[in-house]
Structure 1
């Protein structure tokens, strides 16, 4: 099927004096262009993923890059055969990616960027410690060979995990190289800045994130295994940013692979094996009814007023 929707994942760390004013301008610009997705605005910058026509996305990106110190805003493009978002949301946050550590400023100190073409050599080096900075449900869908999974459920847990595991990871004596990666690069901006603040000097991260690697590195040369979770209705993508095989559990927002869908605990719109024991029978019954109403509304071409999908 022809891909008719352009998807743009973007971020920029830059001081924003009036986040509310930028939020309002972004919301107005996106809606005027028929764009959907989510953008986060904070005093430290902006971050998000949006989708729409190629012309509409270009208009919004031009608007963002016209803002003070935003000309070099990092944007990664991909495509989808259908709109991967249900609405447009622009929100003000304390951080555009929440780490919760005061004084971490990627504009002042950050790790060394490594291009996708040079990444394989770095992470194949046995002297390099490779860390996946994403959350456990993302890692479960796919990761790089040799990567350490911190098993975090939120990025806020990453600093505590590193401080607890530092000696085990790095040992004593000469500190090894540390290479980190994430979906689009933004979490690594903060995680490498954090490690630098912790006194680690040889810190590297994948420029453009997993998405740029999957876009540019041929599958037969790739050290990536599995698929990459993305925060929209595509759920996961593979090499060449082709649509992946996972679906989304509507109850817990985790990706579910083919094996997971064969589990007796999986019910579309209600539960998966990962969250079944986290919910009561009453909660599952409520989710079942909500899913039924949403499907009826979509069949009529309308929106269900109680819909919770993004």
Structure 2
């Protein structure tokens, strides 16, 4: 895998050219002295005028940041000076504006909350499948051993509503902590099949696949790099809609361009361009899903 993936969209005639680089990165690695690390990350991000969110946890780091090319490069060089993060990989996209409005560095218990302390990706990952291989499996309708392939979405319901793989299993999760019980309850549904878990960038599906192995799933993979890496490498094949992202852009299409989809500030529901025409849609206040229910 490349250290960085540059995801750019062609500018239309007369359109402003992208000037900000947006990065997404995570690594499961034991981290300590988080109270000492936090001000260091805060200081460099403030000095470089970066915006976004960094999560520091005992099980690793997760970051979504936006800044100029020069400043992002300097930040990544600083991060990788930590021997634990020397091989950190990241994904990139470009935008005209910074994709986040403020800068937050938080200390959390987990990179993504699952409440399954026995799951430790640092000690060994579940098998992963790259985008090109997954597309080939979906094209032919089975994996290389002839087993049917089933896609399992590990994201929350409002993310899935923006877009997902065709015929995916969607448990309508409201939070990731619901996943372990549901996937164990439905284990028999996947007998004789190859299961591929996926999410936006790889964190949730990595934990999900490990948990599934732990409870006896024989053929389970995680989609390497998540949906965004899949878009970068093969586009929107076997995928319907866009991909929800946790910044002001709300959603990216398979060409990794921002779409007109929005998220309601009040209830977090996805608001399509058509729904934005409704009188109930008041940016920052309400949408057709929650108007009159507050």
Query: TM-score by structure 1 length?
Result: 0.84
Of residues 149, 155, 158 in structure 2, which corresponds to 1:134? 155
Matched, 1:28 2:43: yes
Answer whether contact 1:41 1:92 (CA < 8 A) is retained: yes
Matched, 1:95 2:110: yes
Alpha-carbon RMSD: 1.6
CA distance in 2, matches of 1:248, 1:99: 24
- Is 1:190 aligned to 2:219, yes or no? no
Partner of 2:13: none
Corresponding residue of 1:214: 231
Q: Partners in 2 of 1:218 and 1:158 — Cα distance?
A: 27
Counterpart mapping for 1:106-255 below 5 A: 106-123=121-138, 124-125=141-142, 127-167=148-188, 169-171=189-191, 175-219=192-236, 222-255=237-270
Deviation at 1:164, TM superposition (A): 2.2
Residue 118 of structure 2 aligns to a residue in which SS?
A: coil
Please list the CA deviations of residues 250-274 of structure 1 after superposition, one character each: whole Å capped at 9, or x if unmatched: 1123331123224443222211233
Q: How many Å separate the matches in 2 of 1:88 and 1:159?
A: 32
Residue 18 of structure 1, CA deviation: 1.1
2:121 alignment partner, SS class: coil
User: Unaligned stretches of 5+ in structure 1?
Assistant: 280-310
Quick check: which one's helix share is greater? 1
SS in structure 2 at match of 1:11: strand
Distance 1:202 1:218 in 2: 25
The aligned counterpart of 1:288 is: none
- Please state whether the residue corresponding to 1:28 is helix, strand or coil: helix
Give the TM-score, by structure 2 length: 0.88
2:169 counterpart SS class: coil
Matched pairs, number:
273
- Any gaps of 5 or more consecutive residues in structure 2? 1-15
Residues 207-250 of structure 1 show CA distances to partners (whole Å, capped at 9, x for unaligned) of 1111111122145xx11110100000011001221111201211
**Deviation (angstroms), 1:67:** 1.4
